[in-house]
Amino acid sequence: MLPPLSHRYADLPEHMRAEVRPTPVAKPRLVVFNQPLAEELGFDLAHFDETRAAELFSGNVLPEELKPTAAAYAGHQFGNFVPQLGDGRAVLLGEARNCAGQLRDLQLKGSGRTPFSRGGDGRAPLGPVLREYLVSEAMHALGVPTTRALAAVTTGERIYRRMPEPGAVLTRVASSHLRVGTFQYFAARGDEAALRLLVDEAVARHYPGLAELTSDAQPLALLEVVVERQAALIAKWMSVGFIHGVMNTDNCAIGGETIDYGPCAFMDRYDPQTVFSSIDERGRYAYANQPSMAQWNLTRFAEALLPLMGYDSKKAIADATKVLETFDERYQHHWLNEMRRKLGLMEARDGDAQLAAALLDVMYQGRADFTLTFRHLADAVTTDQQHVLLALFEETHGIETWLTRWRERLAAEQVTPAQIVTRLRAVNPVVIPRNHRVEQAIEAAAERDDFSPFEALLAAIMNPFDEPAGELSYTRPPQEGEQVLRTFCGT
Ligand code: AMP
Ligand code: MG
């Protein structure tokens, strides 16, 4: 069933990773499988068998020739450097080539202890596995670069967190698992040879255009493309109201994909200070802080690359600083592009950034829902249906004034209202995995072994731009009492 896998990472020198086989689980059961993704990855589904799939995706039965590998990495966690983290509960099975010819990591998460487990049990609870499945697939459907979810199995074992929970294993697909923290691990040990191999791997996997540069020039050029990808990524997060929650450097992928969905969630009512994660007590990773936290992480990445940037360390620092300073402008550029799209604007004009910022302002003042405000702009292109939008606001004076300004700006573009409406609905989602729905789906699965809410929610988020037929509950924000304001890592 598995496609042929390469073992690029497993073939790196021994001190960069550890070969470790998954620890078998008691009773694997396949609870969700992403068939279209499996097809893209070249899985042979002609003789698909659920029992065998469960054995494979739990790690219980793996082909002999695989070299399951746990990667070494370090990371700054909430600002504090931890020199050794690494895959403590995950193994890379190998790399598959997808139908577009790109290599994709296949990783089991929750597959048992590894040499990097420290005190942990190497396992993952079902709740966080389902959260990662839902949110990563939603991000993909929303057009945000992300790792993907291929399968989830329950293990038939209970694991112990705040209380006993069913255990699960997630199969994750990523364009690579190279993290800022991977580079930091070797920089902290003064291991330039390993850093060099990581740069080569990053170039080969993500930035083949850099292969033509001399090896001396590559680290700085790599920093620049990674800065660019992160700026674009965070602008996408902000445009959909996504809050990652744990933007530690070990959770920052240098390929520019969103990775490691822990206590993440989408914002309902717009408030830039929103934090969901129970462990983020000071709001370090609040919605509005995400761009500056990304830049902070990139600065750690630059530091890790410095040893490869030549003998003149002053010049290296100056060059790297110059690149890091471009983050703001790049981010602003991407953010404004996202906002123009969300406002139905095709042309770029002065004042667009202020127009977008003013909408966020009135959203905050009016305590309006972020996703639905953008969605219902389509009803307010002309005045006759604007009450649908206004109903989202606790006080409407601000939004009414803003709408006048927006319509004047729209009038500057030579398009019909109908065209604008179509454009707006194609860009602004109506379905996101709202946190209270995610929690309900998790609770039903984990406490009652009922996966139907999970399946229904998954189906709805796959088409985020289409009104779900007759099913409003996935589009609606939480009512009073339904809100889920805290999320737990559950690691
Ligand atoms: P995360 O919070 O999933 O990003 O994980 C942070 C670090 O803790 C990584 O090095 C993980 O491998 C490790 N870790 C998290 N949960 C466990 C666990 N249950 N057992 C072993 N290691 C873990
Ligand atoms: Mg992590």
pLDDT of residue 488: 78
User: From ligand 2's centre to the CA of 66, what distance in Å?
Assistant: 24
- Closest ligand 1 atom, CA of 85? 10
User: From ligand 1's centre to the CA of 25, what distance in Å?
Assistant: 19
- CA 116 distance to own-chain centroid: 23
Q: Is the CB of 85 under 6 A from ligand 1?
A: yes
Q: What is the CA radius of gyration of the chain?
A: 23
| Tokens 């674009």 found at | 232
Q: Is the CB of 251 under 6 A from ligand 1?
A: yes
- CA 165 distance to own-chain centroid: 25
Residues of the chain with pLDDT under 70: 489-491
pLDDT of residue 30: 98
DSSP calls for 458-475:
HHHHTSTTSPPTT--TTT
pLDDT of residue 311: 83
Shortest-distance Cα residue to atom 6 of ligand 1: 85
pLDDT of residue 412: 94
pLDDT of residue 490: 59
What is the distance between the alpha carbons of residues 33 and 46, in angstroms, rounded to a whole number?
15
Ligand 1 pocket: which of 89, 249, 260, 280 to mutate (most atoms within 8 A of CB): 89
- Measured in residues, the chain has a length of 491
Residues serving a catalytic function are 250
Q: Is the CB of 165 under 6 A from ligand 1?
A: no
Global pTM reads 0.97
Q: Is the CB of 77 under 6 A from ligand 1?
A: no
What is the distance between the alpha carbons of residues 149 and 200, in angstroms, rounded to a whole number?
27
Q: Is the CB of 262 under 6 A from ligand 1?
A: yes
- Closest ligand 1 atom, CA of 159? 19
Domain boundaries along the sequence of the chain: 14-174, 180-334, 343-427
pLDDT of residue 491: 60
* Residue 103: both structure tokens together: 């290599």
With contact defined as beta carbons under 8 Å apart, do 165 and 446 qualify? yes
Please tell me what DSSP assigns to residue 348. -
Residues 6+ apart with CB under 8 A from 147: 136, 172, 173, 174, 175, 253, 257, 258, 259
pLDDT of residue 470: 74
What is the distance between the alpha carbons of residues 445 and 461, in angstroms, rounded to a whole number?
18
pLDDT of residue 208: 97
- Closest ligand 1 atom, CA of 73? 10
Note the ligand closest to the C-alpha atom of 132. 1
The strand pair at 148-160 and 124-125 is best described as unpaired
Note the ligand closest to the C-alpha atom of 250. 2
